[in-house]
Amino acid sequence: MRTFRFILSTLALIFVFNVVNAQTIENESVGLVSSNSESTVSLTETEAHLETVKVWPQVSSIKIMVDVENLQEVNIYSCTGRLVKTQKVDKGQGINIETLMPGDYTVKVGNKVGSFTKK
């Protein structure tokens, strides 16, 4: 089941990359734009082959943990590619996801990605 969710999350992210990339003519980067017009996040095409980061539990409604060694910024994207949360996390700290809508999410930490499902 976890593999299936990971595959679905990955396919959703690839779909978003392809749709946005089709709209990008001059720039080699793929833009992920949040509903808030102030913040725009760009991921380059070379980042499409990112390493994975461990995120647990895979299904949660309150809090997730992300495997980081030291203080790092964690970005959480919805399945549509919208940046929904950014938080600095240190080793052993969790991320509160109670305010997120149920669905599949992708987590990006540096050059690593992972996924989880909010129930």
β-partners of residue 106 are: 77, 115
- Summarize pLDDT for 65-97 with one digit per residue, the tens: 999 999 999 999 999 999 999 999 999 999 999
DSSP for 31-55 reads EEE-SSTT-EEEEEGGGGGPEE--E
Distance CA 77, CA 100 (A): 10
**What CATH number is given for 2-118 in this structure?**
2.60.40
Q: Which residue in the block uniquely carries the two structure tokens 């539990």?
A: 57
Q: Which residue has the higher pLDDT, 25 or 51?
A: 51
Per-residue model confidence (pLDDT) at position 111: 87
Q: Is the Cβ–Cβ distance between 56 and 48 less than 8 Å? A: no
Output the pTM of the full model: 0.60
Looking at per-residue pLDDT, the higher value among 14 and 22 belongs to 14
Q: How confident is the model at residue 98 (pLDDT cuts 50, 70, 90)?
A: very high
